[in-house]
Structure 1
């Protein structure tokens, strides 16, 4: 009978799958190493087990011990599977930008999850780097994995991932493209491939807000490049020891939006349901197309499963909130899609200015139309109100008709966005759009800016 003695024996031997539709503009053969076929649904299963086995071998991890690691979720899953099989406890320290699905999955496989803020320096005691190290010193019989600097991370891909790719392509691979986070995958695979063929090109995919690309090109660690980003699993604000820059031929950076959009494209156009870093990786391949020749064999690695991003990249509302959803905005009605169901907030000419101020605060808005029995007759803007209040502290008790400005222009629902944009300027902060049901809605400068792709 053929069976695995435990789930860990099913790690590896993931398939290479040809990318067809998304790479039509590329002459070369593009193959994806789809790591979601691992039992923990990510490439991180490989190095998680390797790091544990090496720590067991040299005594860093003792029977009944507690494994502690800072993780974006995937390494934690691999560690959790190994911990279950081998009888260890696991504490995963994760940043709050990671998807809820990742956190829930880790808890489902027995890990204790500690969530830390994303927008802090690596040296900040609240960062997931610092919290991981602190817990390792405070917890009895604990072992801190430190995947960023742990050499077993790179060795796992040198011993497993790279030989699989070499064998599957019959040694014909010419380019390897992969997102870079801890650096273990790119460095391990690069070392193996270049030992067999020094001409194989290794490209890393980086994200905006990360330091890798500039550091590789200039040797400068530029802290000005570090800022918060959405893409998960790639990019860093530190230089992990596992990133061997000497083995990497170049980096290309992919925006958060492109990473999210192409994650969905992989599912919809290729039938490959993979995660956020895979979207960044395939967009990276497209950005590098001028480096490929017709006879080339390009392998791109897809790290993890789309199931971990159902509440994010695969959720229309989440995508729409960030301006990532590729919806065509051509008419006035398109500008108010996100809030068209909310009633238009108005004030009347005989109400007091204090009433308008209360409404601006309550609904967190900056402009408000003024009406009387004949219709729209004026407008109020928070900037003008503030200026008037500075000049006259008693303004709050005056009727609105005494301080209101000109009424906002009114446009039809099908008015082109270009015409609406021209109506919004320093003298006029909003436009009213007349809907088919006879009601009105407001279009602000924020709405127009949010529509820019």
Structure 2
């Protein structure tokens, strides 16, 4: 039997998944290392377990002790898993910008969570760094893991993430793209890959409000670069010891909006419900498209699962409040609001009588005419009525092809209502839109009226 002794044995060996739609403008193949397959649904499970094992080995973490850590949520989850299995208590400090889902998950795993203000310096006694340090000094038999400076962090990725990617790509990887927070993932993975092939490019994704990019390019720690940002999981106002700048070839900054919008695109277009920083990583890669060639093989390593952000970037109201979504409705919004989303059509060979029966039965005012997979025309209720009034004795012999008009215009689901208005007229009371899954939808005047 193939049985794991405990949940910690399921960490690692996550899949590589090829991206398609969101990277269609890139000249090369792009793979994503989907770390959400770890039991804690993030890449931080790897380094959390490594830090625990190393602390146990050298006596810093004693039986029955207390794990203390400052975390944005994901490292805390990995440590909580280890604590559940190995019998430790957990106290986590975090910042007030983290999603409620992250905090609730940590508490569900038995951890005590202390929320600290974001907009303070690391040295401020209220910061989540300082609070964690103070607690470790006050609580007997406790250990503050300090993922930022604990080098077991990047060693975990040197020993696991790097070798996995090299093996899974058969050594053909040319670019590694990672969002940088503590720096452990990019530094450990990048170091291993460059040891195998020094030509591998390691690109770090940063956020506006973080010091990494300017420090990497100039060697200057510029406090003017530091200001509040919304993106979770990447960027820092400190220089963690785990960030090995010599391994990283360049940094690219991504706005809060671009990261959030791309995360939603990954869910909608690729079926990958991922965290905020995953959107930033892919958005950063797209910004660097001019540096890529057709024979390149890019691997994007992502951090966590989208379930931690349901109340934030996957919430339309939250996105609109921050100006990340257009306030104007789009065709896809009309489709979502439709009670009946099935695409009804009629064949050109059907009789006018059949068309009338269908329109009466389902209360359709307009119907596309489809021959096989092709839309060849359209009929509306006035077409049928006018024909019947003019030909009361012939309607049983005539076909839809005899009375149909030109097909309804086909539009994008991204089209706004103001743009849609240019296509709706007396001659065209409806349009046809195809969603990203390939399903067709009829959007009529009535659907537009219902949206207001």
Question: What TM bracket, shorter-length normalisation?
Answer: 0.7 to 0.9
Task: Note closer, same or farther for the CA distance 1:270–1:327 as it changes in structure 2 (3 Å cut).
Answer: farther
For residue 370 of structure 1, what is the aligned residue in structure 2?
Answer: none
Provide the residue aligned with 2:200 in structure 1. 200
* Alignment partners' CA distance in 1, 2:275 and 2:292: 25
Matched residue SS, 2:33: strand
Q: For residue 235 of structure 1, give the secondary structure of its aligned residue in structure 2.
A: coil
CA distance in 2, matches of 1:134, 1:326: 44
Deviation (angstroms), 1:291: 1.2
1:177-200, CA deviations, whole angstroms, 9 ceiling, x for partnerless residues? Answer: 000000000000111000000000
SS of aligned partner of 2:246: helix
Q: Give the 3 Å change call, closer, same or farther, for CA 142–269 of structure 1 in structure 2.
A: same
Deviation at 1:203, TM superposition (A): 0.2
Q: How does 1:50-89 map to 2 (within 5 A)?
A: 50-89=50-89
- Structure 2: which 5+ runs fail to align? 331-416, 420-452
Unpaired runs of 5+ in structure 1?
331-413, 417-453
Displacement of 1:415 in angstroms is 11
Distance of 1:177 and 1:415 partners within structure 2: 38
CA deviation digits over 1:278-316, x for unaligned, max 9? 000010110111111101100001110000000000001
Structure 1 CA distance for aligned equivalents of residues 41 and 167 of structure 2: 22
Q: CA deviation at 1:27?
A: 1.0
Superposition deviation, residue 329 in structure 1: 8.2
**Equivalent residue, structure 1, for 2:282:** 282
Distance change (3 Å), C-alpha of 1:202 and 1:415: closer
2:418 and 2:247 map into 1 onto residues whose CA distance is 55
Could you say what the CA RMSD is over the residues aligned between the two structures, in angstroms?
Answer: 1.4
What are the Cα deviations for residues 77-116 of structure 1, in whole angstroms up to 9, with x where unaligned?
A: 0000000001100001010000000000000000000000
Q: What corresponds to 1:218 in structure 2?
A: 218
Cα distance between partner residues in 1 of 2:129 and 2:96:
13
| CA distance in 2: counterparts of 1:309 and 1:76, whole angstroms | 16
1:47-446 counterparts in 2 under 5 A? 47-328=47-328
Q: Tell me the secondary structure at the aligned position of residue 245 of structure 1.
A: coil
SS of the aligned residue for 2:182 comes to coil
1:422-444 Cα deviation digits (max 9, x unpaired): xxxxxxxxxxxxxxxxxxxxxxx
Structure 1 segments (4+ residues) deviating >3 Å = 326-330
Cα distance change, pair 415–185 in 1 and its aligned pair in 2 (3 A): closer
The TM-score, its normalising length taken from structure 2, stands at: 0.73
Q: CA deviation at 1:48?
A: 0.1
Structure 1 match to 2:400: none
What is the match of residue 38 of structure 1? Answer: 38
Q: Deviations over 1:137-185 (max 9, x none)?
A: 0111000000000010000000000100000000000000000000000
The separation in 1 between residues aligned to 2:235 and 2:329, in whole angstroms, is 32
Aligned length: 333
